[in-house]
Amino acid sequence: MADTEKVCCQPERGLVLRDVTLTAGSTCVLRDASLTVLLSGMTLLSGRNGAGKSTLLRAMLGLVPLQEGEILTHGLPPAQARQHIGYMPQSVTDAALLLPAVSHVRAAVDGLRWGLPLHLRPRREEADRLLALTGASAFAHRPLGLLSGGERQRVGLAQALAGNPDLLLLDEPLAALDHAGQEQTVRLLEDLTDRLGIGIVLTSHETEALSGVVTRVVQLADGGLHVRV
């Protein structure tokens, strides 16, 4: 099942799937699916609960194997592409909740996400910069376990930005936030795309909060992917 964004698509700045079959347990997420889509701006990956949106994000990172076919992100296969991708899972870590938020970001700066050294700047300065970028400086030294859902999301975003990725994959970043928190997060994501020039792919059921904001919608349904620009 093929779908191609009608904009002039550059594989080196987008996502390409070629004849991909992907399963999650007994669920078929994709069946012989092909897609070419730009990843500039903000891309919403939509689909019903259990359709496999999280599985597809993880497959882009090489954390879930394909049964058939090929995925390229910005022209690179998953194992290479993930060095240029920041990832925030649906649940921000529940580990080390007594450590201050800044310690979690410093760990990401040290490369613990992918096991690679990322000493581009002194870790303290870089962690402070990332927390400031996501508006989390005010609670940087509070224990992670005492932060609200919205505050923890900002810390998670700071972690995802470690290593200066050119693409963010965000799994349900608006979940468990009230209306005001959703609006604040959406404004932050818009600001990040504008200021950093990075692309964002996110999953969300909060489509009202994203109305008029996303550049395109990629619908996951019936084993295929379909683009609405």
For residues 208 and 144, give the distance between their C-alpha atoms in angstroms, rounded to a whole number: 29
97 contacts: CB under 8 Å, gap ≥ 6? 143, 144, 145
For residues 118 and 114, give the distance between their C-alpha atoms in angstroms, rounded to a whole number: 10
For residue 27, pLDDT over 70 is answered with: yes
For residue 207, pLDDT over 80 is answered with: yes
For residues 207 and 158, give the distance between their C-alpha atoms in angstroms, rounded to a whole number: 24
* pLDDT of res. 13: 76
For residue 8, pLDDT over 50 is answered with: no
Burial of 69 (0-12, 13-18, 19+ CB in 10 A): middle
Judged by DSSP in three states, 13 sits in: helix
For residue 145, pLDDT over 50 is answered with: yes
Give the DSSP H/E element, type plus range, for residue 214.
none
Tokens 């019903």 identify what position? 48
Judged by DSSP in three states, 117 sits in: coil
Count Cβ atoms below 10 Å from residue 94 Cβ, excluding itself: 9
If one compares 8 and 13, the residue with the highest pLDDT of the two is: 13
199 contacts: CB under 8 Å, gap ≥ 6? 13, 39, 40, 41, 42, 43, 166, 167, 168, 193
For residue 119, pLDDT over 70 is answered with: no
Percent with pLDDT over 70 in the chain: 89
pTM: 0.89
Res. 111 pLDDT band, cuts 50 70 90? low
Domain spans in the chain, listed from the N-terminal domain onward? 2-96+165-228
Rounded to whole angstroms, the maximal C-alpha distance in the chain is 49
Q: Which CATH class is domain 2-96+165-228?
A: alpha beta
Looking at residues 48-58, what average pLDDT do you find?
Answer: 95
